[in-house]
Structure 1
Amino acid sequence: MKIIRVDPDNPEKEKMGMVRDSLHCGKTVVYPTDTVYGLGANVFNEDALLKVYLMKGRPLTKPVSVCVSQVKDIQQIAHLNPEIDDIIKKILPGPYTLILNKKEVVPLLITGGMDKIGVRIPDNSICRELSKEFPITTTSANISGHPSPVSAQEARKDLDDHPDILIDSGPCSGGISSTVVDLTVSPPCILREGAGMEKLLQFME
């Protein structure tokens, strides 16, 4: 495992470029989000996706959410409509996982064979830099069922040296897992309460 220390406020472009290149080639990366540390792989590389599932001991029937860099990137992997688009623009970037109907380009491996996908745009410069060129997985960097890690050290303790790269930028500011909202139904349905609930409820009233 290669450990890279990155400024959380101003991620060094050279370091970010190197990690993106590694992700493009099928490597796995532990990285910070606005909630907890995540385990990243190129969504379009099925060998890399399998590594994520194996590292976490996660059943292949359980989907893994993805991270994109900007709102406009969501339409590459999921179906949107004006109502959904309006909600997304109000709450993202932020600590939310939005369940959307996926497009065919998304491998069924990452969705557990389902036609829906969880999408995140964290309020964190590092993960948004890493996902600038393609979506990456954003499942928590832990063994399935274990507490979600809020630091690089906690992630390494759980996953050992199995990930190829670990980005250490200090503890995550959130520390609470994201709120999960299903936008494929009307009205939207909260599937898991987590960070950002107060703000979300303002838009759902």
Structure 2
Amino acid sequence: MGELVMAQLLVIHPQNPQMRLIKQVVEALKGGGVIAYPTDSGYALGTALGNKNGLERIRKIRSLPKQHDFTLMMRDLSDIGEYAKLDNNAFRLLKKISPGAYTFILQGTRDVPKRLLHPKKKTIGLRISPHSVVQAILDLLDAPLMSVSLILEGLDFYDIDDVRDALDKQVDVIIDDGYCPPEPTTVIDLSLGGMEIIRQGAGDTSFIQ
């Protein structure tokens, strides 16, 4: 993408995303860009699957170690089988509660870049967000996003001013859809054939009882 300049700010409607603006986001992603975007669990940083440079830029922004897990943001359940191994029980669970505020830990397939897999367990985190902006981006991109939550030490990200102040010259596109408070997802590990709640977050787990 060349030397970074001030990020492009796009005001996108959270329920009815404007396609002309979504196209600009996807063009930036296909060009190797990094975006700050809203999800149902707060702002996140994302880049297109396979974009090694984008991945390293996100690591630098977040000061992440090499072993930090990224999440693949998926369009829908039909795409997950390409990137993760699903048994019948896992498939039924995902079908029941997706899209939603959940991150699923699953065994990755060969289509997942090795640098995204857990070095020992060969697992990957996957999400299907119901957020309309996320869905519109993934529909047009036709590929997953490599994504992490926007968390920086000592800072809170609730609205676009917070994001712009922190990231204006570190990302290519910042999407503004208004107030977007951070609400961590519930993390469910399905990689060993059972089901383990790794983190209780916004996603309801009463169905497990």
Q: TM-score, normalised by structure 1?
A: 0.91
What CA distance in whole angstroms lies between the structure 1 residues aligned with 2:190 and 2:60? Answer: 29
Q: Which residue pairs with 1:142 in the alignment?
A: 151
- The answer on whether the counterparts of 1:97 and 1:180 sit within 8 Å (CA) in structure 2 is yes
1:151 is displaced (CA, Å) by 2.4
| Matched position secondary structure for 1:100 | strand
Matches within 5 A, 1:30-179: 30-114=36-120, 115-132=122-139, 133-143=142-152, 145-146=153-154, 149-172=157-180, 175-179=182-186
Structure 1 residue identity aligned to 2:186 = T
Structure 2 residue identity aligned to 1:8 = P
1:49 is displaced (CA, Å) by 1.1
1:186 is displaced (CA, Å) by 4.0
Structure with max Cα Rg? 2
What CA distance in whole angstroms lies between the structure 2 residues aligned with 1:122 and 1:3? Answer: 22
1:145-202: CA deviation from partner (whole Å, max 9, x where unpaired): 5566232222333334201100000112x631111110113431011111023xx221
What RMSD, in angstroms, separates the aligned Cα atoms of the two structures? 1.7
Unmatched 5+ stretches in structure 1: none
| Matched position secondary structure for 1:131 | helix
1:107-148: CA deviation from partner (whole Å, max 9, x where unpaired): 1222353510000111101112222211102211233x5566
Q: Which residue pairs with 2:3 in the alignment?
A: none
What CA distance in whole angstroms lies between the structure 1 residues aligned with 2:150 and 2:178? Answer: 15
Q: Which residue pairs with 2:189 in the alignment?
A: 182
Q: Which residue pairs with 2:4 in the alignment?
A: none
- The answer on whether the counterparts of 1:41 and 1:137 sit within 8 Å (CA) in structure 2 is yes
- The answer on whether the counterparts of 2:70 and 2:116 sit within 8 Å (CA) in structure 1 is yes
Pair 1:56–1:113, CA change in 2 (3 A): same
- The answer on whether the counterparts of 2:118 and 2:124 sit within 8 Å (CA) in structure 1 is no
Structure 2 residue identity aligned to 1:201 = S
Q: Number of paired residues?
A: 200
What CA distance in whole angstroms lies between the structure 1 residues aligned with 2:91 and 2:11? Answer: 35
- The answer on whether the counterparts of 2:87 and 2:193 sit within 8 Å (CA) in structure 1 is no
What CA distance in whole angstroms lies between the structure 1 residues aligned with 2:49 and 2:156? Answer: 21
- The answer on whether the counterparts of 1:40 and 1:136 sit within 8 Å (CA) in structure 2 is yes
Structure 2 residue identity aligned to 1:70 = D
What CA distance in whole angstroms lies between the structure 2 residues aligned with 1:100 and 1:152? Answer: 33
- The answer on whether the counterparts of 1:94 and 1:196 sit within 8 Å (CA) in structure 2 is yes
Pair 1:183–1:139, CA change in 2 (3 A): same
1:46-77: CA deviation from partner (whole Å, max 9, x where unpaired): 11111111111111111111101111111121
**Identical positions, percent:** 28
What CA distance in whole angstroms lies between the structure 2 residues aligned with 1:7 and 1:190? Answer: 33
